[in-house]
A and B are shown apart, each in its own frame.
Chain A
């Protein structure tokens, strides 16, 4: 009996130690980033300590009051939100269609979209650039350096998983409900909007949030397909690295601001992240 409870206690100690260590390791880079953002340039040259003695607010105030950075932030918000909304709607329509009709061969298309995810991203910069500047134009307007451009391109990454995710949920809604509504005189649209949508709402919410986060975090395409008007905050972050005399303090401040929205969403979605990242293959 004695040894059993001793082993149990050791087990608990081990467990808590393990997880405390894990949390410290997880938070360390983020904590250090905040520490750096609180130091002035000259302070940074001193020996590094892990404690925050004073908070050098100009690191935050300067970029945040710079209209260029404000624009980056606003662009990020607009692109991420619009993309999330668009993806949710398109996925809703698409999965409803796939689930309620026999559309020949459509299923296979989504398998091929996985290959998009497998390919190294750098080579797509040039074709997309050419498309945006040469092909998608209307008079003086071109798709390069617009929010619309980014919103549409991000669909390519978000739609596949959104569809896989929503399809599972949609299939779980029995067609009998549709039938019942038809008998009552409703048409397809009404069924979709009033009956189906509320039932799949949790799935839509996950789709929305995960798409939002991906769009917000994306760097490579945002950097190469935008110029002054539609730049996002992630690109702004990368730009810091080559500015004269790399201003680490300001860069850390901007990085901290860049991860804030995701932090806010974290609490809501951490239960669904796995489902999202595994294309719906693994459900929580």
Chain B
């Protein structure tokens, strides 16, 4: 490669200048994602003047606020539809960074921890709110609205939200996050298969009772075994159940403690909230017989699950089910809508049935009395970090998203409902019909489900317990040993963090 000195020099200098110019230009003015103003804008048009005035009064005109969330349909709706509409209405620009679940946490926590004010609003999953509250990361929204009446939108009313908002309140009933998504992890099943007469006859012949969505674990097991065999006999890639059993990701831990264990009667991870112990000897339930039965049942389902089960997080479970590879499973509600209606992503459009998950004896009564719960009520809110530098502008944005008028479209796009009135909206009812009345189920039976327990140490204890769940899934440990050791590890970590002795 012989280059003359002149040419090389000129090439280098051109490159240097080009690089410097590009760097200067783009660092100073980051390009905003260009999105066409969408339907949501029309709904807010009438209240336009209020947002614009409020924004101006608060000194927020042309300010850009930044947020971070997981990349899910509800978050993407807020980014693609609500943000541009808000900008049109108020002049405040919103930049929402959507990223993976782990990255989102680490960046939000790093920011709030270091008080660096990078993010003006953060996604708060219902299970992490307690840690955030304990660390005093978040602004008291109720208080802020009281202190700044000129910022309180007439279209925003905290009382209109479903009881899900209670998760984001402190002991005084003040709200620290505006709910943006909520769904229950339900029992999905293949309605077409369950209603097929040939299948029904074969099942009754084999098991002696009519085929119907399972209400007990034994029934669930029978159905799972049946369909796995059916798949084999008919040469189809059909299995009896999904299992969210990724052996390297927290999702498996979550399916166990959020859905399976509670359905057997083990609540709040089996951790005794008075002395902060997890093992039976000290009053906990993590290694109780019920818990061991739960883990054994769940790990046993792997025999009836598609091979990708041990690599499946919530996303893959939904994908497997949508590909028609499983006859039933515990699936997060946010997926129910697209699996039932979107032919581009799902092979089983119109064939999805929704029901309450099976439970052990006594669990339903516990749930009804409030002592326990039958499954997981998931969801999240957008919160305002104390470290934010644009608190007032962000408060306006949060209220904009919390308006009643935007909820219906949001529900249709993201299968989530956080406001009572949304259930009655005609658009939502239309989708409800197509998804075997998932929304009706959520409205009526929602109270039987509950979110994560109020643990500020949520992530730390999860990190020490999950390896044992993984080992049980791979068969490296028996469920019994896994839970015994998990309970011991949880105890140790709790003491290490300063809870209990």
Contacts and interface: CB of A to CB of B under 8 A. Distances in A.
Q: Do chains A and B touch in the complex (CB under 8 A)?
A: yes
A243 B315 contact: yes
B205 interface: no
Nearest to A41: B345
A239 B34 contact: no
B19 A227 contact: no
A150 to B, nearest CB: 11
A11 B176 CA distance: 75
A68 interface: yes
A42 B66 contact: no
Given A193-B9, A239-B99, A245 B319 contact: yes
Contacts of A81: 15, 18-19, 22
B72 interface: yes
A67 B79 CA distance: 13
B19 A67 contact: no
B23 A197 contact: no
Contact of B72 (A41, A126, A241, A244): A244
Contacts of A244: 71-73, 315, 318, 334-335
A147 B27 contact: yes
A197 B334 CA distance: 61
A75 B22 CA distance: 10
Contacts of A75: 26
Nearest to A40: B344
Interface in A136-191: 142, 144-148, 151
B445 interface: no
A261 interface: no
Contact of A194 (B3, B5, B103, B106): B5
Interface string B105-139: 01100110010101100000000000000000000
Contacts of A68: 33
B16 A145 contact: no
B315 A242 contact: yes
A239 B104 CA distance: 10
Chain A interface size range: 35 or more
Contacts of B344: 41-42
Interface in A114-134: 126, 129-130, 133-134
Interface in B181-200: none
B347 to A, nearest CB: 6
Interface string B379-412: 0000000000000000000000000000000000
Interface stretch (A13-21, A93-101, A103-111, A198-206): A198-206
Contacts of B100: 238-239, 241-243
Nearest to A83: B19
A136 to B, nearest CB: 11
A78 B19 contact: yes
A94 B99 CA distance: 40
Interface string A215-244: 000000001100111100000001101111
A126 B26 CA distance: 26
B3, B102, B114, B316 pick with most chain A CB within 10 angstroms: B114
Contact of A242 (B5, B97, B102): B102
Contacts of B110: 126, 129, 224
Contacts of B119: 227
B5 A197 contact: yes
Given A78-B26, A244-B72, A145 B118 contact: yes
B118 A144 contact: yes
A160 B355 CA distance: 61
A67 B33 CA distance: 6
Nearest to B319: A245
Nearest to B99: A239
A45 interface: yes
A71 B3 CA distance: 34
A241 B141 CA distance: 34
A244 B101 CA distance: 10
Given A133-B114, A244-B315, A246-B316, A223 B8 contact: no
A41 to B, nearest CB: 6
Contacts of B97: 227-228
Contacts of B9: 193, 197-198
B71 A242 contact: yes
A227 B99 CA distance: 9
Contacts of B27: 146-148, 229-230
30 contacts: A41-B344, A41-B345, A45-B323, A67-B33, A71-B31, A74-B26, A82-B22, A85-B12, A85-B19, A133-B114, A145-B118, A147-B23, A151-B23, A197-B5, A197-B8, A201-B1, A201-B5, A204-B8, A204-B12, A228-B30, A228-B66, A230-B30, A239-B100, A239-B103, A242-B313, A242-B315, A244-B71, A244-B72, A244-B315, A245-B316
